[in-house]
Amino acid sequence: MTFSNILLIDDDDDDQEIFLTAIQQISSSVQYNYYHSAREALSKLALGVSLPEVIFLDLNMPLMTGQEFLFHIKQNQSLSHIPIIIFSTASDSATKELTKDLGAYDFITKPGDFNELIDLLKPLIQ
Cβ atoms within 10 Å of 32's Cβ, excluding its own: 18
d(CA 81, CA 107): 17
Topology of the domain covering 5-124: Rossmann fold (3.40.50)
d(CA 126, CA 120): 13
pLDDT of the residue at 48? 86
- Write the pLDDT tens digit of every residue in 54-106: 999 999 999 999 999 999 999 999 999 999 999 999 989 999 999 999 999 99
Burial tier of 113 (Cβ tally within 10 Å: 0-12, 13-18, 19+): exposed
Length, in residues, of the chain: 126
pTM: 0.94
Q: Answer whether residue 1 shows pLDDT above 90.
A: no
Domain segments of the chain: what residues? 5-124
